[in-house]
Structure 1
Amino acid sequence: MNEQPLPDIAAQATHHDLSLDWVGMAGIALPIRLAGEAVTASVDIGVSLDDAAARGIHMSRLYLAAQRLVHLELKVPAILQVLDDCLSSHQALSDSASLTLRGAVPLKRPALVSPLHGWKAYPFEIRARQDGRGLTIELQVEVEYSSTCPCSAALARQLIQQRFAWDFPDRQADYLNTLDWLGSTQGIVATPHSQRSTATLQLRLHPACIELPLLALIDSAEQALGTPVQTAVKRADEQAFALANGQNLMFCEDAARRLHHALGQLPEVSAFRLRVVHAESLHAHDAVAESRCNWS
């Protein structure tokens, strides 16, 4: 049997001359390494189809380009190489290439007081684009934390004062009686409400960046907030967490301002935007705040 070349329908001309902004594949499963941890990422990869007369692109070439990232520590040069491969394999067809990776990186986090530790997953998204203006990389991560309402804390303190006045009407409470009272359910008659909250942080990297500053971003955000959600805890850790919440009362506006200041200190960042969501335990709706710097 004579071997014949396989037909390449994508190389044929189209009947509808029209360029396309993006053509590619979405949802490719790819094992990568990020922040020193193994991650299974979902990858979107594609190019523009600028040749209006071309029928299509070469999907298999994009897939093979993405394989460069398998098991590598994900860094900017590796991403740039993948995008360059996409463009070089589509010369005369495409002027831009893009890559998006989504997943959740597991990080080992220590308890507040005890020697325990646990693992916490941080959802991330990396978006990269190479075109005539150069390389653009954006990094997004979600950080969960606890937020205790300052208004609710003030109202709770007022109720405790009122209960104290009620229980000690003669105003002659001695030290030991007061100490016992403070440790009783009768004394702490009200507590402020708090809720699990989420910060979505999106930053654009400086062109000179080599590393993806994922760990620095997460650590900076958690330090600024002061109350990241915990993993393994003992009672001493839970008490320390209660103390941290009491010393870091915050509205969503407070959290957004803390994070804005923290992101502004990261040298790898040329622009950023952020969104915080406090999933209210008092209301059936969320409290939300947003901020940005040099983002357009």
Structure 2
Amino acid sequence: MTALTLPDIAAQSNAQNQPRLDFVGMQQIALPVLLDGKPLDCRVDAGVSLDNPGARGIHMSRLYLALEALEQRELSLPAIEAVLHQFLQSHEGLSQQAHLNLRGELLLKRPALVSPLAGWKGYPLELNTRLDAAGFHVELQLTLGYSSTCPCSAALARQLIQQQFVDDFAGISLDHADIIAWLGGTSGILATPHSQRSEARLRLCLDPKLQRLPVRQLLNNAEAALGTALQTAVKRADEQAFALANGQNLMFCEDAARRLHQCLREQDGLLGFNLEVVHAESLHAHDAVARSSWNWR
């Protein structure tokens, strides 16, 4: 019996010219890679444009197989660019633009502020890349959490404490021990500032010539600029140090956005950025938000 050739429906020509499609491909492909030497469980979107008006479809299996070049290897911009070139080469005559987007969560072990404890913290990230006639385009998105203490509530709490001190010791001669005892009690410090868990979302246009993805450096610099990164494993000494850090870094959302803006402006390898900070208010039922950008399209 003569073996029949398997049909390739996608390769069939359309009888009539059809409109161009911006993206045809697959999404949510599982792909294990390495980032900064650590495993990163990615979900990948891979696709190309369909520019040939007479072509019915693309060859999705060719895109899928090209991703093998990234499997279990250090994720780098040169490696991603090579895969995008492979996407276009395998669709010569069909496509003029290739896309590769990766999403995952980088786990970094973070030390406690004072004690020898340490714990793992997750940082969601997304890397969106494109190759076309204009060149190689790279956008990195990072999300990091921090604590923010309201400067207004801190000032109001201090005023109440001052007033309580006046009420408790009016006309009374004080010595050092009396003041220490009052400060350590519950009747004197009757008000505290309100803090909230907050989030910074960074969209960064990277220089496509970077050899390594500066994810850890970007996260470290951003957390240092804010001064109140969320903690993992802690003892009481760490919790006290965290309270101190919050007291020394009182922040409206405007303050946090400006700190991050300045931090990113000093970062090498960035062509532009767009950032957003969200303070999940503990006073209000709504969030406080600030945004800033530089050289953003």
- The reply to whether TM is greater than 0.5 is yes
Does 1:260 pair with 2:261?
yes
Does structure 1 residue 164 correspond to structure 2 residue 165? yes
DSSP 3-state at the match of 2:6: coil
For residues 39 and 207 of structure 2, the distance between their equivalents in structure 1, rounded to whole angstroms, comes to: 25
Residue 208 of structure 1, CA deviation: 2.1
- Corresponding position of 2:55: 54
Q: Which residue in the other structure is 1:196 paired with? A: 197
Native 8 Å contact 1:277 1:288 kept in 2: yes
How much does 1:4 deviate? Answer: 1.7
Residue type at the aligned position of 1:222: E
TM-score (norm 2): 0.98
- Alignment of 1:4 with 2:10, yes or no, is no
| Cross-structure match for 2:155 | 154
Superposition RMSD on alpha carbons, in Å? 0.8
Offset of 1:202 from its aligned partner? Answer: 1.1
Trace 1:5-154 onto structure 2 (pairs within 5 A): 5-15=5-15, 17-154=18-155
Write the mapping of 1:239-254 to structure 2, written as runs, cut at 5 A.
Answer: 239-254=240-255
Deviations 1:199-235 (A, max 9, x none): 0011111132111110111001000000000000000
2:131 aligned counterpart, secondary structure = strand
How far apart are 1:14 and its partner, in Å? 2.3
* Contact persistence 1:165–1:171 (CA under 8 A): no
Is residue 34–residue 72 contact of structure 2 (8 Å, CA) maintained in 1? Answer: yes
What CA distance in whole angstroms lies between the structure 1 residues aligned with 2:173 and 2:278? 46
Tell whether the 8 Å contact from 2:77 to 2:208 is kept in structure 1 after alignment: no
Distance in 1 of aligned mates of 2:189 and 2:35: 46
SS in 1 for 2:171: coil
Give me the whole-angstrom Cα distance separating, in 1, the residues matched to 2:34 and 2:183. 51
Instruction: Name the aligned partner's letter for residue 103 of structure 1.
Output: G
Q: Given that residues 130 and 138 in structure 2 are in contact (C-alpha distance below 8 angstroms), is that contact kept between their aligned partners in structure 1?
A: yes
Shift of 1:171: 4.7
Residue segments in structure 2 that go unaligned for 5+ positions in a row: none
The 2-side partners of 1:254 and 1:268 are apart by 24
- Name 1:235's counterpart in structure 2: 236
Q: Is the 8 A contact 1:49 1:56 kept in 2?
A: yes
Distance 2:173 2:3 in 1: 105
Residue 15 of structure 1 deviates from its aligned partner by 4.5
SS at match of 2:67: helix
Letter in 2 for 1:208: K
Aligned position for 1:284: 285
Distance 1:24 1:221 in 2: 35
Query: Matches of 1:36 and 1:281 in 2, distance apart?
Result: 38
1:174 aligns with 2:184: no
Aligned structure 1 segments of 4 or more residues deviating by more than 3 angstroms: none
- 1:274 correspondence with 2:266: no
Which amino acid in 2 is paired with 1:211?
R
Paired amino acid for 1:9: I
Query: What is the alpha-carbon distance in structure 1 between the residues aligned to residue 139 and residue 211 of structure 2?
Result: 13
CA contact (8 A) 1:126 1:137 kept: yes
For 1:267 and 1:274, locate their aligned partners in 2 and report how far apart those are by CA, in whole Å.
17
Offset, 1:173? 2.0
Contact 2:77 2:209 in 1 (8 A): no
Which amino acid is 2:13 matched to? A
SS in 2 for 1:31: strand
Report the AA paired with residue 187 of structure 1: G
Instruction: Please tell me the residue identity of whatever aligns with 1:224.
Output: A
Please say if residues 103 and 125 of structure 2, whose CA atoms lie closer than 8 Å, have aligned partners that are also in contact: yes
Deviations 1:126-181 (A, max 9, x none): 00000001101111110100000000000000000011111101152221101000
Unaligned runs of at least 5 residues, structure 1: none
Secondary structure in 1 matching 2:22: strand
Please tell me whether the aligned partners of residues 50 and 95 of structure 2 are also in contact (alpha carbons under 8 angstroms): yes
TM-score, with length taken from structure 1: 0.98
Q: For this pair of structures, how many residues does the alignment match?
A: 296
